[in-house]
Structure 1
Amino acid sequence: MIKIRDVCKSFGSHEALKHINLDIVEGETLAIIGGSGSGKSTLLRLLIGLDRPTSGEIYIMGNPIAGMSEKRLDELRMNMGMVFQYSALFDSMTVGENVAFGLREHTDYPEEKIRAIVAEKLEQVGLPGIEASMPGELSGGMKKRVGLARAIAFNPKIIFYDEPSSGLDPIMTARIDELIIDTQKKQKATSVVVTHDMASACTIADRIAMIYEGELIAVETVENFQKLEDPRVQSFLQRMHVGREARK
């Protein structure tokens, strides 16, 4: 579904990503982990076409996107859904209008069909009947779920998540993890989750990829990842464990 071939990304003299090679197969959930500044968010921006690699190529569903025109990229993005770290809801719009935004912008569906899709997706994320609510009336976890409802409105083949558990308490984090798993099953989508939360990564992912100082240092199943003897991996796992214990 996604192929990354020898991708590098530099900002001036800073090499944010160094020769990344990775295949993401159809239907899997891949968690991309790493510390702050490791390059994982830069990679996500490249995958959704918000930025272009300095060198190398990225193929989405067989399409090379590095040199693709913005118009063609917009067409390809119709197959992608994006759940942003801070939900990125429009505060001046109702929940229903937020979920319907892309449908109204990019389709000629009649309003009746749009309203039906909005109701279906809100129910799918566990928020039925809140179309008339405003984002300011929602909790952080509810906003994340509305953001997911908007992302899946087109039934995308690929869903990208940017730090889905960021800013949430452990109980809501567990609910979001369950929702990601449930969404992947229902949508039959390929999911890419960028996170610093190792516990979430182990819960939701089929495989884990770790980026360290711009380099892809490990790609393994969850079980095998935790057994890796690489000191950089073990240090990250230990820091995550200490952090979780401190928050209890």
Structure 2
Amino acid sequence: MIRLVDVCKSFGEKEVLHHINLTIEEGETLAIIGGSGSGKSTLLRLLIGLIRPTAGEIWIGDQDIAQLTEKELDKVRLHMGMVFQYSALFDSMTVGDNVAFGLREHTDLPETEIQRIVTEKLHLVGLDNAAQRMPSELSGGMKKRVSLARAIAFGPDIIFYDEPSSGLDPLMTAKIDELILHTQQTLDVTSVVVTHDMVSACRIADRIAMVHEGSIIALDTVENIKQSKDERVRAFFRTVAIDREAQG
């Protein structure tokens, strides 16, 4: 589904990602973890096509998106869903209009069909009666759910999640994790989750990739990552455990 070949990314003279090689299989959930400044967010932006690599290839299916024009890239993005870190909802629109926004902008579907899709997707994320509510009336966890409903409205093949548990307490984080798993199983999508939350990553992922100082230093199943002998991986686990304990 997704393949990165010798991808590098520099901003000016600073190289942020160094020779990344990564294959993400169709239907799997890959969690990309790493500390602040590790390069994981840059990697996500490359996968979505928001920025271009300095060198290397990024294959989505049979297309190297690094070589596409912006118009061609827009067509590829129609097969992707994106759940943003801070939900990125339009405050002036109702929940239903937020979910419908992309369908109205990029399809010729009749309004009756758009409303059917909105109802269906809100049901999938457990927000059956929220269509007429405004984002300001929602909790952080509910906003994440609306963001996911909007992301899956097109019926994407791939869903990208940017720090889905950011700003949520452990109980709500667990609920969002369950929703990610449910979405993956129900829609049979490929999921890529960028997170600093190791507990969450271990709950939802088939495999975990750890980015450290611009390189992937570990890529394996959850169980194997937990048993890693790499001190950098072990140190990250310890830091996350301490942070969790401090949160209560």
Q: TM-score, normalised by structure 1?
A: 0.99
Structure 1 stretches of 4+ moved >4 Å: none
- Aligned residue for 1:243? 243
Mean Cα deviation higher: 26-35 or 12-21: 12-21
- Aligned residue for 1:90? 90
CA deviation digits over 1:41-74, x for unaligned, max 9? Answer: 0000000000000000100012101121011100
Q: What is the CA-CA distance between 1:129 and the residue it aligns to?
A: 1.9
Aligned partner of residue 172 in structure 2, secondary structure: helix
- Aligned residue for 1:43? 43
Percent identity between matched residues is 69
1:160-239 counterparts in 2 under 5 A? 160-239=160-239
Letter in 2 for 1:136: S
Whether the aligned pair in 2 keeps the contact of 1:2 and 1:62 (CA below 8 Å) is no
Aligned length: 248
> Any unmatched runs of 5+ in structure 1?
none
Mapped to 2, the partners of 1:198 and 1:135 lie a distance apart of 29
Mapped to 1, the partners of 2:247 and 2:91 lie a distance apart of 31
- Aligned residue for 1:29? 29
CA deviation digits over 1:154-181, x for unaligned, max 9? Answer: 1100000000000001110000000000
Mapped to 2, the partners of 1:236 and 1:76 lie a distance apart of 34
Mapped to 2, the partners of 1:30 and 1:19 lie a distance apart of 19
Mapped to 2, the partners of 1:167 and 1:51 lie a distance apart of 26
CA deviation digits over 1:81-105, x for unaligned, max 9? Answer: 0000000000011100000000001
Q: TM-score, normalised by structure 2?
A: 0.99
Mapped to 2, the partners of 1:111 and 1:17 lie a distance apart of 44
Mapped to 2, the partners of 1:186 and 1:114 lie a distance apart of 20
Letter in 1 for 2:172: M
Aligned partner of residue 66 in structure 2, secondary structure: coil
Mapped to 2, the partners of 1:63 and 1:13 lie a distance apart of 29
- Aligned residue for 1:122? 122
> Any unmatched runs of 5+ in structure 2?
none
